[in-house]
Amino acid sequence: MARRNEEVEALLLEYADLIAITGGDAFKQRAYERAARAVRGHAADVSRLGAKDLREIPGVGKSIADKIDEYLRTGRLAALDETRAAVPPGVRQLMSVPSLGPKKAMTLYRERGIASVGELADAIRENRLKGLAGFGPKTQENILRGIEVARGSGGRVLLDAATALAEEAVAGVAAAPGCERCTAAGSLRRMRETIGDIDILAAARDPEPLMAAFTALPLAAEVVVRGRRKTSVRTAAGVRLDLRVLPPEAWGAGLVYFTGSRQHNVRIREIAVQAKLKLSEYGLFDAETGDRRAAGTEEEVYAGLGLPWIPPALREDRGEVAAARRGELPEPVALDAIRGDLHTHTDLTDGLASLPDMVGAAAARGYAYYAVTDHAPDLRMQRMTKEKILAQRAEVRELAGRHPGLRLLHGTELNIGPDGGVDWPGTFLAGFDLCVASVHSHFRLDRDAQTRRLIAACENPYVNVIGHLTTRKIGSRAGIDADLDAVFAACARTGTAVEVNGHPNRLDLRDEDILRARRHGVKFAVDSDAHSTGELGNMRYGVGTAQRGWLTVDDVINTWPPERLARFLHAPGRTTPPGTRP
């Protein structure tokens, strides 16, 4: 059965938004947002927990636990219903537009009667916001850009949500009588950053038991179509899943066909035609005799075309077929090659778990090294001080003795100011084992200013990694406008790694930008940006994005042995810090 954590998360976030819209206490709003993140990242299914157990989740106090329990028992939450009644439904919809907060959304409704994103776009284009305080030409321009970003997601879901649904569907179908194989295919198997319909592929002689199991899944709120070889269901949230069942002997050909991408499939079919072959989901056939040449495995199908097996994440028609024919296809970095995580947070700032818990979870993943990088003081809401970070450093050193197989790095995530400066002076930064520097504000600076600030951060001898470089949040915030090629050149020149942030709503850098950066000779850190123990698992999404960017173990610094990583972090021109080092 599907976990209800995401459902409860959405409920708490809605309540937090409504608190903000109605002018409620900001601390209460942040408490609900924090609890929502904690529930989503909690390992156990919250529907199986009582109110007392819910209070054991970091960030979930008695009041919030009681509300979650009420909702799980009754399907309703009285406090939310009361607050909903005070806010027109369209106002919260307006808040989905990047750069449009609760106060502005309420102003639009009260002053202009605008209660939908479409109405807002029309009002701006028809100049109906003229004279409305806080909605000058620049603000309206930013709102229109935000509407485009929000609409650009096209109803697609983030990679982690799609993965969870697919894993539940695969488990249910695989358990059906007669199922010989079952896996996710399509854009999810290629690790696209967002997913539309989720493709599930199975192999069986008799498809009927598999179709029955699929339509009986708890996630299947609606059966869209049911057939002998293909059945589609839709979740309560509107996500569509398609199950296709093939004969076992066609498994490899079907997996190639239904993994895609369409452009990749066109490319390999061209090769088939040139060789007087025919390629379909049922196999690779001789075009004249109809004899099947290959079908059982993907490797056999590609070999029949004169190609090595091409990893799914590379199948986007970006030159992978030509590279395969030349014998120059890279071996993408694999999840099991990752030796450590270099960007994580604890409850000292905005994380949800304690330092000992985060370290223990990292040790359980078998990492060779692990960095804690809590926020620095320029992100003022986190209330960091020198005293707090130094106390944490002492705790890191003490914990190192408890985990002899895990080398702990004490780091920080610095904030890149509008001029490229960072939070602490070099004399203080020299004490850290690792410094990640990221943009957290001033997103609307012009292209030249953004480029200058990023290059300045790269040139800081204490900055090892540029975190989530473009700052984008998928479907809600566009990336900053900067000359990325100039930034990548600076990173390569200064020996500063660029992060591939694995948080599913970031996946920053994008795969297209990774390809560009790699051509400059940039090195990368694939990180989870975890704010809870469960979010350490974000690494899988970062690795998937790195694969789509053709990264190998040589490109990714946190696949390297500790000694090689240390040489990179403390290369000539960078001050070698004291303390716990790899």
- Does 311 lie in the same domain as 340? no
pLDDT-derived band of residue 495, with 50, 70 and 90 as boundaries?
A: very high
Residue 204 lies in a domain: yes
| Token pair for 174 | 């695989």
User: Of 111, 135, 152, which marks where a domain is finished?
Assistant: 152
What is the pairing mode between strands 292-294 and 340-341? unpaired
Whether 117 is in a domain gets the answer: yes
Q: State the pairing for strand pair 283-286/292-294.
A: antiparallel
Shared-domain flag, residues 399 and 537: yes
Q: Which of 246, 267, 286 is the last residue of a domain?
A: 246
Half-sphere CA count of 98, side-chain side, radius 13 A: 23
Residue 576 falls inside a structural domain: no
Block residue for tokens 């989901």? 281
152 or 503, higher pLDDT: 503
Per-residue model confidence (pLDDT) at position 354 = 92
Total domains in the fold of the chain: 4
Query: Does 120 score more than 80 pLDDT?
Result: yes
Q: What is the pLDDT of residues 268-301, one digit of tens each?
A: 999 999 999 999 999 999 999 999 999 999 999 9
Looking at the chain, the whole-number percentage of residues with pLDDT higher than 90 is 64
Backbone angles phi, psi at 154, to 5 degrees: 55, 30
Confidence of residue 427 (pLDDT cuts 50, 70, 90): very high
- State the DSSP string of 217-249: STT-SEEEEE-SSEEEEE-TTS-EEEEEEE-GG
Q: Let me know the angle formed at the C-alpha of 460 by 456 and 461, rounded to the nearest 5 degrees.
A: 155
- 32: domain CATH number is 1.10.150.110
Rg over alpha carbons for the chain, rounded to the nearest Å, is 25
pLDDT of 152 over the 80 cut:
no
366 DSSP 8-state letter: T
More confident residue, 20 or 203: 203
- Percent of the chain predicted with pLDDT > 70: 95
pLDDT at 426 over 60: yes
**Residue 228's CATH number:** 3.30.460.10
| 201 lies in the same domain as 136 | no
**Which of 118-127, 187-196, 347-356 is the least confident region?**
118-127
Query: Please, are residues 229 and 238 in contact by the beta-carbon 8 Å criterion?
Result: no
The answer as to whether 375 is a domain residue is yes
> Residue written as tokens 């694995």?
502
317 shares a domain with 202: no
Element (H, E) at 164: helix 159-174
Regarding predicted confidence, which is higher, 113 or 561?
561
Residues 396, 531 share a domain: yes
Confidence band for 46, pLDDT divided at 50, 70 and 90 = confident
Tell me the C-alpha to C-alpha distance, in Å, between residue 51 and each of 2, 48, 62, 66. Answer: 20, 10, 8, 6
CATH of the domain at 380: 3.20.20.140
* Best CA proximity match to 65, nearest among 49, 79, 84, 83: 49
Same domain, residue pair 130 and 42: yes
Contact 255, 266 (CB under 8 A): no
Single-letter amino acid code for the residue at 540:
R
CATH of the domain at 322: 3.30.210.10
- Asked whether the predicted pLDDT for residue 555 surpasses 60, the reply is yes
DSSP element (H, E) containing 252? helix 251-259
d(CA 528, CA 506): 10
- Residue 143, pLDDT score: 81
Q: Are residues 189 and 229 in the same domain?
A: yes
**Confidence label for 28 from pLDDT (cuts 50, 70 and 90):** confident
Predicted local distance difference test score (pLDDT) of residue 541: 97
pLDDT for res 401? 87
At 579, the pLDDT band (50, 70, 90 cuts) reads very low
195/219 same-domain check: yes
Which of 326, 346, 364 is at the close of a domain? 326
The pLDDT of 200-223, averaged and rounded, is: 95
CA-CA distance, 297 to 309, in Å (whole number)?
10
Q: Average pLDDT, stretch 116-126?
A: 84
239 in any annotated domain: yes
What are the distances in angstroms from CA 218 to CA 50, 243, 497?
22, 15, 44
Classify residue 136 as exposed, middle or buried by CB count within 10 Å of its CB (0-12, 13-18, 19+): exposed
Alpha-carbon torsion (372, 373, 375, 378), positive or negative: positive
For 444-462, letters b (16+ CB in 10 Å) and e give ebeeebbbbbbbbbbebbb
The boundaries of the domain holding residue 432 are 335-569
pLDDT at res. 482: 95
* Cα–Cα distance, 571 to 582 (Å, whole number): 13
> Does 579 reside within a domain?
no
State whether 56 and 168 are in the same domain: no
Higher pLDDT: 50 or 206? It is 206
Per-residue confidence band for 98, with pLDDT thresholds at 50, 70 and 90: low
Q: Rounded to an integer, what distance in angstroms lies between the CA atom of residue 292 and that of residue 285? A: 4
502, part of any domain: yes
Q: Domain check: are 272 and 183 in the same one?
A: no
pLDDT, mean of residues 322-346: 96
pLDDT of residue 3: 65
* Residues 514 and 474 occupy one common structural domain: yes
User: What 3-state DSSP class applies to 428?
Assistant: helix
Flag whether 213 is in a domain: yes
Element (H, E) at 398: helix 386-400
Interval 54-90: pLDDT, tens? 988 888 888 899 889 888 888 888 888 888 777 776 6
**379 and 477, same structural domain?**
yes
User: β-strand 194-195 against 181-184: which pairing, if any?
Assistant: unpaired
| Confidence check: pLDDT of 475 > 60 | yes
Residue 142 DSSP SS3: helix
Instruction: Name 545's Cβ contacts closer than 8 Å, sequence gap at least 6.
Output: 191, 193, 500, 502, 507, 509, 510, 511, 514, 526
| Mean pLDDT (the chain, rounded) | 90
Distance between start and end Cα atoms, the chain: 42
